[in-house]
């Protein structure tokens, strides 16, 4: 088989109606938003049966990431090919005009409620836009028990039990599996999460879905069973600056399922790594990615998968550019999905 089958792959966004969504993603992504309704999510990299990302250009245009994972496991995943049959991360932009439901994703200690085929889900957000009304809930106030939550659900005071953050653009928020969380009030975030779709809704702010005219179902008991009541590393993270030149490289998340850096610069720098895949998400500006004598224009809102066989590539910004670079750690998951050596910033009120 030819060695240079794969190349830096751009994927089409998959837009999703959500009752809590807005229209902010129109300014972030170049693909036009569908119709006039609220769009809450753009899935920008997804290897799921119901919504598989499709390659946008080049000889592999029209192929799904699932097909590529099957056909080119070694070229795409390199050293990680044996560990993952599916691409292990799900990447999205969220535009939360209204509050999302207060929810929790199962971890590894969920009392057997999680379907056997699904994994745990740790997720994290990078705030891209925030307004005066924006807020993020991540974790419980100290000494909040299941009984306290049950009482608050009956009298509608649940928000008082949650740790609340007033988000600013650039903030990183870590939501390990088992953390109660929500966000809304016109906040736009990039979301990175393990590729799992198991969500238990604890509370939905009295929302009624305009499409069904019904409130959405809650899964209170399942949610309570998944909540991590003792251990909370959730919340704002402190960015660790690893380099200032030629590009400012800040590490935002460093947990077992994913690592994420923010790169900001104006002069050429290197992206990618040998023998493992990397994902680039452009959140501001534009630039050019160079690989094997070809050059690819990278625009704002785009996601690019650098296959393992691409190795390191040069990135040439056109003016100031901000990229998120994402790695899948080359190590076994220790079963917890937790931050390993980066503590949360405890300044949330
Ligand atoms: Zn979530």
pLDDT along the chain (349 residues), means of 10: 74 87 84 82 92 95 96 96 93 92 79 53 95 96 94 93 96 95 95 90 88 89 89 88 97 95 98 97 96 94 96 97 96 44 35
Displacement of CA 249 from its chain's centroid (Å): 19
Distance of alpha carbon 26 from alpha carbon 85, whole angstroms: 33
The pLDDT assigned to 248 comes to 98
- Separation of CA 231 and ligand 1 centre (Å): 18
Gap from CA of 115 to ligand 1 centroid (Å): 17
What is the whole-number distance in angstroms between the Cα of residue 271 and the centre of ligand 1? 29
Could you tell me the distance, in angstroms and rounded to a whole number, from the CA of residue 341 to the centre of ligand 1?
A: 23
**Ligand 1 centroid to residue 105 C-alpha, Å:** 6
Report the 3 state secondary structure along 200-236: EEEECCCCCECCCCECCCCCHHHHHHHCCCCCCCCEE
pLDDT value at position 333?
45
Residue 187 alpha carbon to ligand 1 centre in Å: 15
* Residue 175: per-residue pLDDT: 95
What is the rounded distance in angstroms from the CA atom of residue 159 to the CA atom of residue 115?
A: 28
Element (DSSP H or E) covering residue 154? helix 146-155
Residues with Cβ within 8 Å of 259's Cβ and at least 6 positions away in sequence, in order, are 251, 253, 326, 327, 328, 329
Contacts of 267 (CB under 8 A, 6+ apart): 246, 247, 317
Instruction: Give every CB contact of residue 37 below 8 A, 6+ residues apart in sequence.
Output: 17, 21
Task: Give the Cα separation of 17 and 277 in Å (integer).
Answer: 30
Block residue for tokens 């790169």: 263
CA 305, 72, 198, 212 torsion: positive or negative?
Answer: positive
Q: How far is the CA of 134 from the centre of ligand 1 (A)?
A: 17
Centre of ligand 1 to C-alpha 162, Å, is: 15
Q: What is the dihedral of CA 24, 283, 53, 3, to 10 degrees?
A: 170
State in Å, rounded, how far the first CA of the chain is from the last one: 57
* Residue whose structure tokens are 């460093």: 254
**Alpha-carbon distance 329 to 254, whole Å?**
9
Q: Measure 85 CA to ligand 1 centroid, in angstroms.
A: 23
What separation in Å is there between the alpha carbon of 205 and the centre of ligand 1?
16
SS3 (DSSP) at 43: strand
How much distance in Å is there from the Cα of 315 to the middle of ligand 1?
A: 32
> How far does residue 121's CA lie from ligand 1's centre (Å)?
8
Expressed in angstroms and rounded, the spacing between residue 272 Cα and the centre of ligand 1 is 28
Q: How far is the CA of 136 from the centre of ligand 1 (A)?
A: 11
**Closest of 10, 7, 63, 4 to residue 298, by C-alpha:** 10
Centroid of ligand 1 to alpha carbon of 133 (angstroms) = 20
Give the pLDDT confidence score for residue 150 in this predicted structure.
Answer: 95
Predicted local distance difference test score (pLDDT) of residue 167:
97
Q: How much distance in Å is there from the Cα of 152 to the middle of ligand 1? A: 21
Instruction: Say how many Å lie between the CA of residue 268 and the centre of ligand 1.
Output: 35
State the distance from the centre of ligand 1 to the C-alpha of 222, rounded, in angstroms: 15
Encoded tokens for 302:
């785009």
Distance from the CA of 316 to the center of ligand 1, in angstroms? 34
Q: What is the pLDDT of residue 103?
A: 94
Give residue 227 CA to ligand 1 midpoint distance, Å: 13
């Amino acid at each position: 088989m030819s060695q240079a089958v794969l190349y830096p792959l751009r994927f089409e966004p998959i837009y999703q109606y959500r009752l809590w969504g807005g229209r902010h993603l129109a300014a972030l992504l170049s693909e036009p938003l569908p119709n006039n309704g609220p769009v809450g999510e753009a899935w920008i990299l997804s290897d799921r049966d119901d919504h598989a990302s499709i390659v946008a250009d080049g000889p592999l245009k029209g192929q799904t990431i699932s097909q590529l994972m099957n056909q080119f496991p070694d070229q795409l995943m390199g050293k990680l090919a044996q560990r993952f049959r599916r691409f292990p991360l799900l990447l999205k932009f969220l535009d939360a005009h209204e509050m999302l439901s207060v929810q929790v994703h199962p971890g590894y200690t969920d009392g057997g409620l999680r379907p056997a085929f699904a994994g745990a889900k740790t997720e994290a957000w990078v705030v891209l836009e925030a307004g005066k009304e924006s807020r993020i809930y991540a974790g419980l106030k100290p000494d909040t028990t299941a009984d306290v939550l049950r009482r608050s659900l009956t009298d509608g005071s649940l928000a008082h039990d949650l740790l609340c953050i007033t988000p600013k653009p650039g903030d990183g928020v870590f939501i390990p599996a088992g953390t109660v969380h929500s966000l809304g009030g016109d906040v736009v975030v990039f979301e990175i999460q393990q590729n799992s779709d198991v969500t238990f809704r604890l509370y939905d702010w009295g929302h009624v879905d305009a499409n069904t005219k019904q409130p959405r179902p809650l899964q209170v008991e399942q949610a309570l069973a998944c909540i991590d009541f003792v251990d909370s590393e959730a919340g704002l993270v402190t960015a660790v600056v690893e380099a200032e030149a030629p590009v400012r490289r800040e590490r935002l998340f460093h947990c077992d399922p994913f690592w994420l850096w923010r790169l900001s610069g104006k002069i050429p720098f290197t992206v990618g790594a040998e023998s493992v895949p990397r994902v680039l998400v452009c959140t501001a500006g534009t630039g050019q990615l160079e690989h094997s004598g070809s050059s690819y224009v990278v625009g704002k809102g785009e996601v690019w998968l650098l296959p393992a066989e691409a190795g390191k590539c040069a990135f040439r910004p056109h003016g100031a550019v901000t990229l998120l670079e994402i790695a899948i750690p080359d190590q076994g998951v220790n079963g917890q999905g937790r931050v390993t050596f980066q503590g949360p910033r405890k300044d949330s009120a």
